[in-house]
Chain A
Amino acid sequence: MSACLFRDTYLHPLLKVRSQFRQIFLEMGFTEMPMDNFIENSWNVDGLFQPQQHPACDQHDAFFLKDPAEALQLPMDYVQRVKWTHSQGSYGSQGYKYTWKLEEARKNLLRTHSTAASARTLYSLAQKKPFTPAKYFSIDRVFRNETLDATHLAEFHQIEGVIASHGLTLGHLMGVLREFFTKLGITQLLFKPAYNPYTQPSMEVFSYHQSLKKWVEVGSSEVFRPEMLLPMGLPKNVSVIAWGLSLERPTMIKYGINNIRELVGNKVNTQMVYDSPVCSLDIEPRSPQTQEAA
């Protein structure tokens, strides 16, 4: 006897993976951060201690806004501290020693990474005295004005985890990552030194891909620089560790999808949505001949 095909009642695979990651963070005791603002301003990038005019800016080409072009309000005392840190150096830092321009910082843009939103949450945390340790996470959309290809779109989702506490070490960061990735079924990890303007140390996280038989990058992780945390008002002995990865990559690997346009956006074939299996991230991905998403 032939079976009836079920056509409706499907959830989108990327969002199924998102639900799984949310679960993992909640299981680890992380609180979800508010991410409900796609529009950020450059100020939030500078507050992270990324210098204006730095080569690192090229990595994140941003969509700038025509309307509203500039931020309406900035917290001016915080702004002053950041300006000083960038241009003259303070909080034990040499700073970047350039002329920091307020007009650059006022420019509005579509957020290029979720760390901008994490910074807002950390700033709120810093205003609450006395300090209580916190663990945060977010999974939401970011925007990059880059050349588009099979694995890159202008919009994608970033997953970010943040821990703010006393006496955190690089060993702690690696330990947390090991627990996080174990929940994804990834147990072999290697860490590689990397560079980011607002974090030090920074590490890229690699795991061994059984089918491709090589180490592939699965995320990045870092310790935030004091030049970013101290102007916010966080106490001196508090460290903040964080890590992130994209949502699309593990989803494409899990569901054997090579072209990101088949996963996100209007041109998605709804048949693909109908066909995707239950998402349990610790089960081996479906298709061994998956192309490596760069």
Chain B
Amino acid sequence: MPTVSVKRDLLFQALGRTYTDEEFDELCFEFGLELDEITSEKQIISKEQGNVKAEGASDVVLYKVDVPANRYDLLCLEGLARGLQVFKERIKAPVYKRVMPKGEIQKLIITEETAKVRPFAVAAVLRNIKFTKDRYDSFIELQEKLHQNICRKRALVAIGTHDLDTLSGPFTFTAKRPSDIKFKPLNKTKEYTACELMNIYKTDNHLKHYLHIIENKPLYPVIYDSNGVVLSMPPIINGNHSKITVNTRNIFIECTGTDFTKAKIVLDIIVTMFSEYCENQFTVEAAEVVSPNGKSSTFPELAYRKEMVRADLINKKVGIRESPANLAKLLTRMCLKSEVIGDGNQIEVEIPPTRADVIHACDIVEDAAIAYGYNNIQMTLPKTYTIANQFPLNKLTELLRLDMAAAGFTEALTFALCSQEDIADKLGLDISETKAVHISNPKTAEFQVARTTLLPGLLKTIAANRKMPLPLKLFEISDIVVKDSSKDVGAKNYRHLCAVYYNKNPGFEIIHGLLDRIMQLLDVPPSEEKGGYVIKASTGSAFFPGRCAEIFARGQSIGKLGVLHPDVITKFELTMPCSSLEINIEPFL
């Protein structure tokens, strides 16, 4: 969930009133936000770096608000305040307009070289904007939030904002060889080539994460103005020349990327949020973007979409009985301006450019429910009559668990993921013999494979409980995983039962007795005949030679039992003898 940090008093100023912390918490809850933390810059630094470093830092109260991942219009103070004000019916949602400039329109020309590295770009102008330090900080912060969120860490879209008064259009978005790109990047004092910059930023904690997006491409994206000044090298860094300051009055915004839809959404969000501070409030000056094939398009789109929803549909889906007029009012409070039309049952909903998250009627239904107040909805029960059924394998497992405990064993619960060693080397096997499923991105060795046997987990549990009085008798009935090409995903779970006995003597007769008891419970007689079970002497790399047997039942081998080999004992850091039993219980369904 993205978190937005806002200065409490600034927020209250924008909201036109103050709240106690509890009142604001309740308001957030109602709207679908969460007041995650109340803190200050001083407290944050204190927590991270100690009280000494925090000396002199700001005491101003900060609210950290969690917003839903799809609400790009709530990622800054401006959007939050606006959304809440409309929700509380203190203001009407603004109407955002794209206007043509008095003079020449700003042009961004895309050349065909960008196609292989970063094909899409959109642009717009914020004219006669007035920043204060807080507004400026908010502007920069919103770009960062969007970068992390919808832009997927700049890979899909990157935003560049520039002081238009320091530049001269038309602008060209092209791609060049890194050695051919040279400019003074943001906050640096001299010019560097793109190759040099890639090296410099390798150690920059902020920018190093984005280098991979273009690093290995033959051509890097770059935007120039008509005088050859570099605006930016997306998605890495802007040029210093067009840097925005608190005094900037006219802003040229460009969004480049690999996802056209998201680039348009991102541009719409930035301009709708900050056009509040333009002289002509909530208007955005158009910019023209020319594609490599010569086609011209005007941005930002700022599209208002209309969708028709039936009032009774909303009532039915939520479980309320509101009049169409009331429903239209509820939706308008969520920035979805609505009115009743036609036969009185239809509601025409206008979806603004700030609500790109609304893509289906069900999104409109949810907003109506939020405005109504989830906790005001009457709770009822569905008239659906069903008879319950247990999953047969789980039913069998539950029955066996109880009887295993009754037989004197204690239940363990171990991890399904483990190291390769655990299921192979430590049991005297080669990993290729195990048909194990391998994980491609384990953070540590503990997550290399999915277990193919329950034994290692139980032995590790014993190792962690060496100080407990002997004997230790553990069992587990749970899933193992093996590769299986007959399944659509190529792997399958099997339900195994595993028991271990750890004591001064190996207790093979106890484990054998346990097996007999389990077979008795499963109603499987000891017999060579069909439906019975037999034990045949066998070998196994994990077992002591001559003390291992294989169990056959229902026409197949279901597992082994025996005394564990001393090598296995040592490799699992145990010191006493141990015997074990492991069977697949699925044939007994």
Contacts and interface: CB of A to CB of B under 8 A. Distances in A.
Given A133-B386, A143-B417, A174-B377, A227 B488 contact: no
Given A15-B411, A203-B374, A74 B384 contact: no
A170 interface: yes
Contact of A135 (B150, B384, B474): B384
Contacts of A227: 360
B587 interface: no
A155 B394 CA distance: 19
A44 to B, nearest CB: 9
Contacts of A40: 489
B439 A64 contact: yes
B481 A172 contact: no
B360 A194 contact: no
A55 B69 contact: yes
A171 B413 contact: no
A175 interface: yes
B490 A98 contact: no
B391 A270 contact: no
B461 interface: yes
A56 B493 contact: no
A226 B411 contact: no
Given A36-B493, A92-B361, A268 B412 contact: yes
Interface string B556-570: 000000000000000
B20 interface: no
A211 B387 CA distance: 38
A130 interface: no
A68 B32 contact: no
B293 interface: no
B39 to A, nearest CB: 17
A286 B375 CA distance: 30
A145 B465 contact: no
Given A169-B319, A170-B374, A193 B32 contact: yes
A9 B68 CA distance: 47
A68 B381 contact: no
A11 B405 contact: yes
Interface string A141-185: 101010000000011000000010101111110111011000000
Interface stretch (B192-200, B340-348, B440-448): B440-448
Interface string B264-278: 000000000000000
Interface residues of A, number: 103
Contacts of B361: 92
Interface string B383-417: 01111111101100010011001111111111111
Nearest to B368: A201
Given A94-B359, A266-B461, A55 B388 contact: no
Contacts of A95: 359
Given A30-B388, A194-B68, A169 B411 contact: no
Contact of A39 (B149, B377, B437, B441): B437
Contact of B382 (A71, A72, A163): A163
A123 to B, nearest CB: 12
Contacts of B495: 36
Contacts of A84: none
A271 B492 CA distance: 34
A213 interface: no
A163 B382 CA distance: 9
A209 interface: no
A67 to B, nearest CB: 4
A154 B418 CA distance: 11
Interface string A58-98: 01000111111111111000000000000001011111111
Contacts of B394: 22, 32
> Which 6 A/B pairs are nearest by Cβ-Cβ distance?
A171-B319, A169-B319, A193-B32, A195-B68, A68-B490, A266-B460
5 contacts: A63-B440, A68-B483, A98-B262, A145-B443, A172-B319
Interface of B: 1-2, 29, 31-32, 34, 68-71, 149-150, 152, 156, 259, 261-262, 316-320, 359-363, 365-366, 369-370, 374-375, 377-382, 384-391, 393-394, 398, 401-402, 405-417, 437-443, 447, 450, 457, 460-461, 463-465, 468-469, 472-474, 479, 481, 483, 485, 487-493, 495
